[in-house]
Structure 1
Amino acid sequence: MSKELVVVTGATGFIASHTIAQLLQQGYQVRATVRSLSKVDLVESMLSQAGVKDFDQLSFVEADLTSDKNWDKVMQNADYVMSVASSTPTNEFTDPDTMTTTAINGNIRVLTHARDAGVKRVVVTSAYGAIGMGHTNRTTPFTEKDWTNLDNPNLDPYQRSKTLAEKASWNFIETEGNGMEMAAINPVGVMGPILSSDFSHSNQQIVQLLSGQVPAVPNINSGYIDVRDVASLHILAMTSQKANGGRFLATTGETLSMLDVANILRDEFPDFADKLPTTVIPDDVLKEQAKENPMLKMMATLVGNFADTSNEKAKTLLGWNPRSAKEAIIATAQSMIDLGIVNYK
């Protein structure tokens, strides 16, 4: 019997690279997309860092979410698709509408080509940003039943784009999917071992904290999850019959403040203690600064927000069991020290 073939989009990404590593270690064939084949060496070095020894079952195709080119080739004979690639909240987009349109079109492009190739199931990487944003007076943990409140005028454009892209994906499956199955994974802040100096935006805060760039932290609470557990949840959502049609929050269920994160790092890496912040910026001060500094704008929308989440669904339905947030944060920092991205000097 031939091994099942899984397509993973955006192979250079943090979640995608760990997912590819686990798929290969579990004996799947993997076809990975990269925007440029010049990135193949980077992906292979990242996978080696993750413990992959054998690349015989891995192949690459050049494909971009903004173009139809090569997607039929990407999907040929594929059993499953991990739709992980997406635009991230960088300065790539100056116009919020363009960000949303790009996110929606990218998801629909992958789903359309997967459906046309007869793929069984697509697992879409969505975000906590499609679940827990724009709500006021919340007191109970967010679950997969929740959707971000698109009517909130202060909603950040990135969170809006993630929400609309996931909604568009479910709508496609319902109206044009022709029986193709789908599941969605909604991770909170993703931590864990980085595999190269080209790392994701969610890890920036650890670099900034350990480098002494943050004299005081904003009053922001967040859930955290290890990237290795996000990858394993993608695979469970791909293989379990119970996962079809479901959304799954990838969270440890813990909520940490940014000061909690700094304190974990201080306890674990005492050599960095003098670089780590011990005070919190007052909410009104941060909101005032955000008016002048666009980089703080998204942060200002998160200040003081309730951020408790539940992972009950993934644990009970799929038997998923993630590491603690502390373990994920320590693994991030340790990998950055090991790779020389941050140092004690």
Structure 2
Amino acid sequence: MPSAPSGSATPPRSTPFTEEDWTNVDGDIPPYQRSKTLAERAAWQFVEEEGGGLQLSAVHPVGVLGPLLGPDDPPSLRLVRRMLEGGVPACPPFGMGYVDVRDVADLHLRAMTHPAAAGERFLAIAGHSLRLLDIARVLHERLGERAAQAPTRELPVWLTRALGIVNPELRLLRHQLGRDLDATSAKAERLLGWRARPIEDTIAETAESLLAHGIGT
């Protein structure tokens, strides 16, 4: 969620993130998340001070999955690709939200055209957060032998931290380990009538699309 809270910059919590939450740009977060938040704050400030009659709405998707449009290799799908290829021997222990790219597009259209969207921020998530192991389980259940290389176990937090000493990818996850970064799209559902499709369908269709394009085989 680009300008909603980054897990590395917020204390642990038991309630889902909402549109009232913002990334702490002074926290220990990657430059990408910081830049997204600063850009959005600048946009809201511009509309307030110089926008005249302009209206602004902001849509914040969580992890975006979904079928490919072509044979490229988008970063947001690399987790699923690597699971199919056997590149994830075991899952790091954390959870986050996911949403279908088609539902993100639908929410953008609603935010542009629905009168209730003016001046509002919207989170886009399908259901609740998923552990990486949950994604792997969906792949096994929906694709069978074609997902035989997907992981079947989750690493303990202590071991993941230890491996992060020598593995830069795991080191980047250090603040998320053991946490489930959940969010809610209740606002988009209430104001705009938006509904996300089941994320299990999205995961399966993502994998099917990757395999159809020769990615992940």
Q: What range describes the TM-score normalised by the shorter chain of this pair?
A: over 0.9
Corresponding residue for residue 171 of structure 2: 297
Q: Distance in 2 between matches of 1:234 and 1:338?
A: 28
Q: Distance in 1 between matches of 2:26 and 2:156?
A: 27
Quick one: which of 44, 55, 61 aligns to 1:187?
61
Matches within 5 A, 1:113-192: 128-133=1-6, 134-152=9-27, 154-192=28-66
Q: Distance in 1 between matches of 2:163 and 2:49?
A: 45
Matches within 5 A, 1:281-292: 281-292=155-166
The alignment-based identity, stated in percent, is 42
Contact 2:55–2:118 at 8 Å: present in 1 too? yes
Corresponding residue for residue 234 of structure 1: 108
Corresponding residue for residue 137 of structure 2: 263
1:273 is displaced (CA, Å) by: 4.2
The structure with the largest alpha-carbon Rg is 1
- 3-state SS in 1 of match to 2:81: helix
Quick one: which of 190, 193, 197 aligns to 1:323?
197
Corresponding residue for residue 95 of structure 2: 221
Equivalent residue letter for 1:131:
A
Q: Distance in 2 between matches of 1:297 and 1:248?
A: 30
- Which region of structure 1 is more displaced relative to structure 2, 242-251 or 190-199? 190-199
1:249 is displaced (CA, Å) by: 0.4
Contact 2:59–2:122 at 8 Å: present in 1 too? yes
Contact 1:155–1:301 at 8 Å: present in 2 too? no
Q: Distance in 2 between matches of 1:292 and 1:161?
A: 27
- 3-state SS in 1 of match to 2:123: strand
Q: How many residues align?
A: 215
- 3-state SS in 2 of match to 1:219: coil
- 3-state SS in 1 of match to 2:56: strand
Matches within 5 A, 1:59-74: none
Q: Any gaps of 5 or more consecutive residues in structure 1?
A: 1-127
RMSD: 1.5
Q: Distance in 2 between matches of 1:286 and 1:160?
A: 25
Equivalent residue letter for 2:161:
K
**CA-to-partner distance for each residue in 1:123-179, whole Å, 9 max, x for gaps?**
xxxxx1321222113111111111112333x32222222211211211121122222
Q: Distance in 2 between matches of 1:342 and 1:199?
A: 10
Q: Any gaps of 5 or more consecutive residues in structure 2?
A: none
Corresponding residue for residue 314 of structure 1: 188
**CA-to-partner distance for each residue in 1:92-151, whole Å, 9 max, x for gaps?**
xxxxxxxxxxxxxxxxxxxxxxxxxxxxxxxxxxxx132122211311111111111233
TM-score normalised by L of structure 1: 0.59
**CA-to-partner distance for each residue in 1:29-64, whole Å, 9 max, x for gaps?**
xxxxxxxxxxxxxxxxxxxxxxxxxxxxxxxxxxxx
Q: Distance in 2 between matches of 1:268 and 1:243?
A: 36
1:337 is displaced (CA, Å) by: 1.3
Corresponding residue for residue 278 of structure 1: 152
**CA-to-partner distance for each residue in 1:228-281, whole Å, 9 max, x for gaps?**
000000000000111011111011132110000000000011113430111112
Q: Distance in 2 between matches of 1:148 and 1:323?
A: 27
**CA-to-partner distance for each residue in 1:296-334, whole Å, 9 max, x for gaps?**
333233222331111111011001111011111111101
Contact 1:253–1:308 at 8 Å: present in 2 too? no
Contact 1:219–1:281 at 8 Å: present in 2 too? yes
